[in-house]
Every structure is written in structure tokens, then in C-alpha cells.
């Protein structure tokens, strides 16, 4: 049984939210909690078949007394015209857009030396440019005149993102975009914040990484101070808080929901090597050599 929201029932009654990537993983958890709180939700992603399946599942979780509805609009966020059509359809259907949750994105594992330009561009285009398209269109079509809240889902890329440098670069760009838009759009009553999840497990996320999935997620457990993986419902509650009146004075912030993972270890291992040039000669270099030649301490 899914965890119930910690927020009061009806908190978002009659509000309207777009959740990109809302049919799977973190996006589906955000959609489910918004629906539980009375919000009308439009989920969007590229594949209509997955969206239809998600809508059917989400509809079963809406109680008879809850006024919320869930619908879907297929959209490739890389395509500006498709984003315009998405936003236009939502306004036509509901007459308003109160919330935008930019959760849609994707990446693959690869060291940079093995990464093609095509692969790099695809991830940048989805995770950075796609977020830009959605923010701009929702703002110009509705929020500029009526206000609203935008949440951008990024990642734990604070120590770099070796193994997935394309998404690290894109998410860092979105972090800065969040700050820029929070200032530019403040006079329209638009709050813009970001949520940076740590390692969050979902069945669909594990499947996305194919045979690497199980070992990849297990590998991250020792790097978390919590010594466990997070789950999507631990992200959705943070998003709902930032959308809520309880966050009415918060804008331009990035909330790290990672159990302190960003302060702790890196999963990337650098092997012992002697590839770097030696330090400048002098008494300090000699002292270092002397130190390293001493017997190891019992500690």
C-alpha cells in the first residue's frame, strides 16, 4: 500500500499541475500525491501507451469524494512546438496552470571518452533544453499574468557526475536556470525552485539501466549516510511542500533530498597511479617523501 501524504486532504483542490515524465518513477509518485491532495494532474511523456497505462493506474487511487482528475498529453519536451501544444491543451482543458513540475529527463551511463556527440546532445537537449522549453511556455502562456509555482527535478551532481557527465552538466544548468528564473519572474508572482534527489530506487529506473540496474543501485548504498536507497515517495513529499503555501517565501532554492549523500562519498573510484607530474622540488617535497617512507602507523 502506497504511503499516504503527510499534507492535509484538499490542500490543492481545484489546482492544475503539469508533471512531465509523470507516468513512471519519481514523476508518478509526484502525480499520485498531488492527486491525493485534490490537484488535477496532466502527465506527459513521449510514449502515449505508457501514459495511458499510468492514467488508468492513477485513477484507481482517487477516492470518490476527491474532485481531482488525471489526464495525459503525449509530448517530447525536446520539441518546442510539442511543448506549446501541451500547454495549450492543458489551458483549453482546465482553464489554468498552477503548477509545473519538470521531472521529464533521461540519461545513460558512460565515461566521457566513450560518449558520442549524439548521446551528449540527446541528454542535454532533454534535461536542460526540455526544461527551458516547458518553463518558458508555461510562463508566457499563463503564469506571467496569473502567477504559479515551478519545480525542477535535478540530481546529486554537486561533486561532478563522473560516469554520467552529460546529465551532470545539464542538471547543473537547470540549477542555475532555476535561480535565474526565480529573479526574472518574481514580479509575476512565480516561485521557481528545484529538488535534487540522491539515489532513488524505482522499478522503472532500474529497468532503464538494463543489466547494470541491480548492481548500479546496490553500489550506491555504502555512499549514503542513511545506508539505504531512497524511494520516489520521499521526493514527492518534498515537491508538494515546495508547491504548498508553506513554502510561500521560498524561491530560487534547491532542496537536496539525499540523506546527506552529497556531503559524503563518491561512487567513482580513482585507482592508485603515478600519472601526475611530481610536485616542485624543495624542503616540503623532501618532507613528503620522508613521511611516505615511514612505517605505517598502527592506527
User: Cα 45–151–13 angle (5° rounding)?
Assistant: 85
Report the C-alpha gap between 59 and 100 in whole angstroms: 20
299 confidence band (pLDDT: 50, 70, 90): low
pLDDT, tens only, 72-131: 999 999 999 999 999 999 999 999 999 999 999 999 989 999 999 999 999 999 999 999
pLDDT, tens only, 185-229: 999 999 999 999 999 998 888 887 777 788 888 988 999 999 999
The sign of the CA dihedral 85, 91, 93, 96 is positive
What is the dotted CATH code of the domain comprising 16-264?
A: 3.40.50.720
Kindly report the length of the chain.
Answer: 299
Report the C-alpha gap between 256 and 241 in whole angstroms: 13
> So where are the chain's domains?
16-264
Q: Give the burial class of 159: count Cβ atoms within 10 A of its Cβ; 0-12 exposed, 13-18 middle, 19 or more buried.
A: middle
> Mean of the per-residue pLDDT values for the chain?
94
Which ranges of 147-196 would DSSP assign to H, the alpha helix?
Answer: 165-184
Cell numbers 525542477: residue: 152
3 confidence band (pLDDT: 50, 70, 90): low
pLDDT at 1 over 50: no
Residues 6+ apart with CB under 8 A from 149: 98, 99, 100, 190, 191, 192, 193, 242, 243
Cα dihedral value 181, 183, 188, 189, nearest 10 = 100
227 conformational bin, left if phi > 0, alpha if psi -120 to 50, beta if neither: left
Residues 6+ apart with CB under 8 A from 239: 30, 33, 101, 151, 153, 195
pLDDT, tens only, 181-194: 999 999 999 999 99
**189 in helix, strand or coil?**
coil
Cell numbers 501507451: residue: 49
pLDDT, tens only, 121-168: 999 999 999 999 999 999 999 999 999 999 999 999 999 999 999 999
DSSP assignment string, 90-124: HHHHHS---EEEE-------B-GGG--HHHHHHHH
Nine-digit cell string for 197? 534527489
Residues 6+ apart with CB under 8 A from 26: 103, 153, 197, 200, 202, 232, 235, 236
Amino acid at each position: 500500500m502506497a504511503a499516504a501524504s503527510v499534507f492535509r486532504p484538499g490542500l490543492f483542490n481545484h489546482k492544475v499541475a503539469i508533471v512531465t515524465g509523470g507516468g513512471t518513477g519519481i514523476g508518478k509518485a509526484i502525480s499520485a500525491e498531488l492527486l491525493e491532495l485534490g490537484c488535477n494532474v496532466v502527465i506527459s511523456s513521449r510514449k502515449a501507451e505508457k501514459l495511458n497505462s499510468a492514467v488508468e493506474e492513477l485513477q484507481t487511487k482517487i477516492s470518490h469524494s476527491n474532485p481531482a482528475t488525471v489526464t495525459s498529453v503525449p509530448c517530447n519536451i525536446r520539441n518546442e512546438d510539442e511543448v506549446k501544444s501541451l500547454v495549450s491543451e492543458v489551458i483549453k482543458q482546465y482553464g489554468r496552470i498552477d503548477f509545473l513540475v519538470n521531472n521529464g529527463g533521461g540519461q545513460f551511463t558512460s565515461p566521457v571518452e566513450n560518449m558520442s556527440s549524439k548521446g551528449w546532445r540527446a541528454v542535454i537537449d532533454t534535461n536542460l533544453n526540455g526544461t527551458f522549453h516547458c518553463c518558458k511556455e508555461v510562463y508566457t502562456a499563463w503564469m506571467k499574468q496569473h502567477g504559479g509555482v515551478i519545480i525542477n527535478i535535478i540530481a546529486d551532481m554537486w561533486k561532478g557526475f563522473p560516469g554520467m557527465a552529460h546529465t551532470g552538466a545539464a542538471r547543473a544548468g537547470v540549477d542555475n536556470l532555476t535561480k535565474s528564473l526565480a529573479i526574472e519572474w518574481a514580479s509575476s508572482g512565480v516561485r521557481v525552485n528545484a529538488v535534487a534527489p540522491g539515489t532513488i530506487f524505482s522499478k522503472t529506473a532500474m529497468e532503464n539501466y538494463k543489466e547494470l540496474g541491480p548492481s548500479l543501485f546496490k553500489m550506491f548504498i555504502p555512499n549514503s549516510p542513511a545506508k539505504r536507497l531512497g524511494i520516489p515517495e520521499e521526493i514527492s513529499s518534498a515537491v508538494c511542500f515546495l508547491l504548498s503555501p508553506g513554502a510561500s517565501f521560498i524561491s530560487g532554492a534547491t532542496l537536496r533530498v539525499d540523506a546527506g549523500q552529497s556531503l559524503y562519498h563518491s561512487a567513482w573510484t580513482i585507482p592508485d597511479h603515478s600519472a601526475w607530474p611530481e610536485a616542485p622540488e624543495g624542503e616540503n617535497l623532501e618532507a613528503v617523501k620522508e613521511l611516505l617512507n615511514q612505517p605505517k602507523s598502527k592506527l
